[in-house]
């Protein structure tokens, strides 16, 4: 389930030959970054892309669908080779935490600040959380 990205612009790629894109010429030797945030938040493909909605990945039969559009680990021959392992590890990590703990703000009833701090990587604002054993 996509919520946010750690690396919103992926890794740099060097252009090996001149090419045209959207009416612009990108010259050989240029360095380009894929804007993964824009791709993963494209309103032409996702209704309310800024809203966390895991159900967008389920078809009418409850089967996972549409994952080919999410480029969290890049795309093509230079995508992250650890993609599958990383997804499994993240699933196990977060499932284990949520299975045994209720995670909440330190001050009960307060709302967590989900404002991202953008840079080469995205991080959240430091906040104190309480992990209460279930």
DSSP output for 36-83: HHHHHT-TTTSSSTTS--GGGGB-TTS-B--GGG--TT--GGGS-TTH
**How do the pLDDT tens digits run along the chain, 134 residues long?**
355 677 777 778 889 999 999 999 999 999 988 888 888 788 888 888 888 787 887 888 888 877 666 677 776 676 777 878 888 898 899 999 999 999 999 998 898 888 888 877 888 889 999 999 99
User: Does residue 74 belong to any structural domain of this protein?
Assistant: yes
- pLDDT number for residue 69: 66
pTM of the model: 0.57
128 domain residue, yes or no: no
What's the domain count of the chain? 1
Task: Tell me, yes or no, whether 17 lies in a domain.
Answer: yes
10 marked ligand binding residue? no
H or E element at residue 90: helix 83-100
Q: Could you tell me if residue 42 is inside a domain?
A: yes
Asked, for residue 1, whether it belongs to a domain, the answer is no
Is residue 93 situated within a structural domain? Answer: yes
Residue among 77, 129, 81 at smallest CA distance from 107: 129
Distance CA 30, CA 35 (A): 16
Residue 59 structural domain: 13-99+117-123
Residue 61 within a domain: yes
Q: Which CA distances in Å does 16 have to 26, 51, 76, 77?
A: 10, 38, 16, 15
Task: Report the C-alpha gap between 3 and 112 in whole angstroms.
Answer: 15
* Model pLDDT, residue 1: 38
CA dist., res. 103 & res. 21, Å (int): 46
Q: How far apart are CA 64 and CA 68, in angstroms?
A: 11
Q: List the structure tokens of 117.
A: 């701090």
Domain assignment present for residue 77? The answer is: yes
What one-character DSSP code corresponds to residue 97? H
């Amino acid at each position: 389930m996509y919520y946010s990205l750690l690396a919103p612009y992926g890794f740099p790629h060097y252009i090996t030959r001149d090419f045209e894109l959207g009416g612009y010429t990108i010259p050989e030797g240029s360095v380009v970054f894929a804007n993964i945030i824009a791709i993963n938040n494209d309103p032409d493909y996702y209704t309310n892309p800024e809203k966390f909605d895991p159900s967008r990945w389920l078809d009418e039969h409850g089967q996972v669908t549409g994952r080919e559009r999410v480029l969290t680990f890049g795309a093509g021959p230079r995508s992250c080779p650890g993609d599958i392992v990383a997804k499994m590890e993240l699933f196990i990590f977060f499932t284990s935490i949520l299975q045994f703990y209720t995670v909440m703000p330190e001050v009960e009833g307060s709302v967590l600040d989900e404002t991202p701090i953008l840079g080469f990587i995205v991080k959240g604002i430091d906040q104190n959380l309480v992990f209460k054993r279930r």
